[in-house]
Amino acid sequence: MTVGMIKPEYRKDYNIPVVPYQIGGVLPRSLWTSKLSEIRIVPGVDEQTGAILPQNIHNDQYGGTYADAGLESPDINISAEQALLPPEHFISDTFIKVTTVSQFGPRNLQFITDYAPGSEDANKYGGGTIAHHFIRNIMYSTNLQKGAKPRIKPHPEWTTWTSLQGILKYDKPTILFQGLAFVLNGLPIQDENRNPLRDEYGNQLPLYCLIFVDNRSAQTNLMNALTTPANRALPLDGKTNSPYCGIAEADGVMTYFVPGIDTEKRRTLNIQLNENPRIWNPKPYPLTEEQIKSMWVPWEKLLHFLTADEQCLLLAAEFGADTVNYVLANEPNLAGYTIPEEVARAGMGRYAHMGAKMPGGRADLSGMGKLGGYGPPQGPPQGLPPQGLPPQGLPPQGLPATYPQQAPSQGLQQPQYPQAPSGLSALPKTHAPDPVSQNARNDAMTKMVSAGVNIPGLPIPPTDSGQEDLSAMAADLINMDDTGDDQPEKDEGAVESVF
């Protein structure tokens, strides 16, 4: 069974013409919040039209509401619906949001926990995947809130699994994009001798990667960088009205993901145009249409999704079939799911004395027998594919260029593919807002009203404070689970040879 973020055909034997030295396929890499990364985000391609995707869509629904471009006593008139639109509503399919786990199990696995959009499992079970229920049943039963009762009786070993250094991690909402990485988690891209990879002119050379950001605060910063207009009197546009110079446009600039601390005193990544936040000095790095099309891989072709049965088998291999049988049999939301026979036949094992019945339904354990447990595969985990020599056709970083000023674009309406992920703006949300998230949303609405935003049905109180920055308030509107962003970072092989 294949486990990982990327389908096998885009791994070891997949070549990318623009970076011919990279013979290891598209490399999946997460961004550490403790280290600097320098990346050129590569825009996506519309499969139906062949057009390069813009950074922003639905441009006419954001900005252009100030009566006074000087921002003195601005009269902002937006509907309640517009006020609640999330940032991802304005971002093209260059980006996509999925749910992932990292450093998972004894083998430190990394994979997507969602079912493939439009698949039979997605239609049958929705967002409550096998992995999602398994993780939360153990986490919520072991790490109890004060006064709470465990969902199921926890096994003593679970305490070790769920500790900070443990092998059971929360699944997290994760933003993915494809890009050229020049510096990754503090280190320049290196050759097979661990030296910085450079061309004949001494310019740093990149690797083409699938980049994922699973830190909640860093996601907020990235969303704000992509959707905040430079002049709120004009419509949002990544090319002509963005303080970040269109970091996801074809003729855009380099992006620096810089370590920082957020308002909750947690580690984050700030989005900057250079390493020094006090200096506005964007580094142009234009990409041609030909270069983009030779690199970009459509999401439905690139991303690897596990089926319900594959998730069940994977969990059994990592944590034992008896653990899977016990946890899933006690999950009422999986009453209609039949555990694969090779897992079910292992029985309850060490959990036999703890019971498996729970009112409200249980998974089908009809295949359960007295055979041995389903254990993890033998042998060391698969290594990372090798790397490789200088790219053809990419402009060197030091190449001087003038940032182009173009006419405002209204963006492209992205087609919806029923069998494939469709980007941040259309991907259905897995988790419903909890009361805490709803309170945060209500607080944000109150702040917007106090700042002078006219939302029909709500009075505008008098204020002398002037207009507040709505992009900062937008961070309060993002609903994400608190899934332990401060987990320790491990080397995923970012500096290993892929040549």
Tell me if 320 is assigned to some domain: no
pLDDT confidence of residue 312: 96
pLDDT by residue (tens digit) across 90-101? 899 999 999 999
Number of helices followed by number of strands (H, E) in the chain: 12, 11
Tell me if 307 is assigned to some domain: no
Across 27-31, 51-55, 195-199, 401-405, least confident range: 401-405
Tell me if 447 is assigned to some domain: yes
Average pLDDT value for residue range 42-61: 92
- Work out how many domains the chain is built from and give that number: 1
More confident residue, 358 or 76: 76
| pTM (2 d.p.) | 0.73
Tell me if 340 is assigned to some domain: no
pLDDT confidence of residue 376: 39
Contacts of 439 (CB under 8 A, 6+ apart): none
Tell me if 73 is assigned to some domain: yes
pLDDT by residue (tens digit) across 288-345? 999 999 999 999 999 999 999 999 999 999 999 999 999 998 888 888 899 999 999 9
More confident residue, 402 or 279: 279
DSSP string, 110-154: EEE-SPPTTSHHHHHHTT--HHHHHHHHHHHHHSPPTT---SSPP
pLDDT confidence of residue 91: 93
Which domain covers residue 60, as residue numbers?
A: 8-94+174-288+386-477
Tokens representing residue 23 in the block = 């013979």
User: Residues in the chain, how many?
Assistant: 499
Torsion of CA 79, 80, 83, 89, to 10 degrees: -90
More confident residue, 183 or 387: 183
Token pair 């320049």 is found at 188
More confident residue, 104 or 379: 104
Tell me if 194 is assigned to some domain: yes
Tell me if 452 is assigned to some domain: yes
Residue 367 has pLDDT above 50, yes or no: no
To the nearest 10 degrees (0 to 180), the angle between helices 130-142 and 308-319 is 40
Across 29-43, 127-141, 346-360, least confident range: 346-360
HEC secondary structure over 121-132? HHHHHCCCCHHH
Tell me if 124 is assigned to some domain: no
Q: How confident is the model at residue 490 (pLDDT cuts 50, 70, 90)?
A: low
